[in-house]
Amino acid sequence: MKQNPNDSEFLDYIVTHGIAPGERLPSLHEMSVELGVSVGKLREQLEGARVLGLVAARPRRGIECNDYSFTPAARASLMFGLATDERLFRDFGELRNGIESAFWRRAVEALTEEDKSELDEYVGRAWHKLQQSRIQIPHQEHRAFHMTIFRRLDNLFATGLLEAYWDAYEAVELNLYADYDYLTEVWDYHQRIAGAIQQGEYERARLLNEEHLLLLRTRGVRRNGANGPTGIERGHEVRRPA
């Protein structure tokens, strides 16, 4: 790649010098002398690269090149968008649904037996939380369930967008509000999806997943005010309906 990526001398230095992930870069002063660019400008470009997750800058360790990931860039842009208009989450959710459906077969066929067992474990943990006297919302299990399905997908852009979706899910606080009936319906789907994957019925699993992805469209979110026993509760716990 000969052209200067993003018009950044800092990023161009990484590319032209073939600096691999894990390798350290020279100091900004050394790069400034070699490139004929001010240290101040390079420092600004370094910060941009750090936000994008391309490099890490640590005291006493200097600047290191990271493995490429699309997640930080997608997350940074998405979080800014949600800060200006939270309704954009619905649009991004539609994109996420399309990604899961489009890459489903490829993703599940790459899963190992250990991965499939992990899916069952997440389902078990979720039901355990939901069956307690004070119910806990199994958000971490929800995120881990979906991301485990796509763990072996060899497409950094697809997985980056999926990771960003779950960060956005937390940002709009959908991990904090839940109706008990909604939660049980979600995890009933997850249990059936995991079972179909275990049995190698990947198309049935995909159809179940697409049905379950539609649940969020009908999910109500109330952020303030009193809720009855079947309403949506503020916080990480929700009461079982009477």
pLDDT digits (tens, 9 = 90+) for 180-217: 888 999 999 999 999 999 999 999 999 999 999 888 76
Do 137 and 202 lie in a common domain?
yes
E strand segments, 92-157: 135-136
Q: How high is the pLDDT of residue 5?
A: 53
Q: How high is the pLDDT of residue 25?
A: 96
Do 61 and 121 lie in a common domain?
no
**Domain ends where: 37, 65, 93?**
65
Q: Specify which residues 63 forms β-bridges with.
A: 57
Q: How high is the pLDDT of residue 3?
A: 53
Burial of 68 (0-12, 13-18, 19+ CB in 10 A): exposed
Alpha-carbon distance of 182 to 185, in angstroms, equals 5
Do 81 and 175 lie in a common domain?
yes
Which one has a higher pLDDT value, 171 or 99?
99
Tokens standing for 220? Answer: 């109500």
Q: How high is the pLDDT of residue 240?
A: 54
Do 61 and 78 lie in a common domain?
no
Structural domain count of the chain: 2
Do 106 and 189 lie in a common domain?
yes
Alpha-carbon distance of 22 to 11, in angstroms, equals 15
Can you tell me the mean pLDDT for 102-128?
Answer: 97
Domain that residue 164 falls in = 71-238
Do 94 and 211 lie in a common domain?
yes
Do 158 and 134 lie in a common domain?
yes
Q: How high is the pLDDT of residue 135?
A: 83
Q: How many residues belong to the chain?
A: 242
Q: How high is the pLDDT of residue 7?
A: 83
CATH number at residue 24: 1.10.10.10
Residues 136 and 172 sit within 8 Å (Cβ to Cβ): no
Residues 237 and 136 sit within 8 Å (Cβ to Cβ): yes
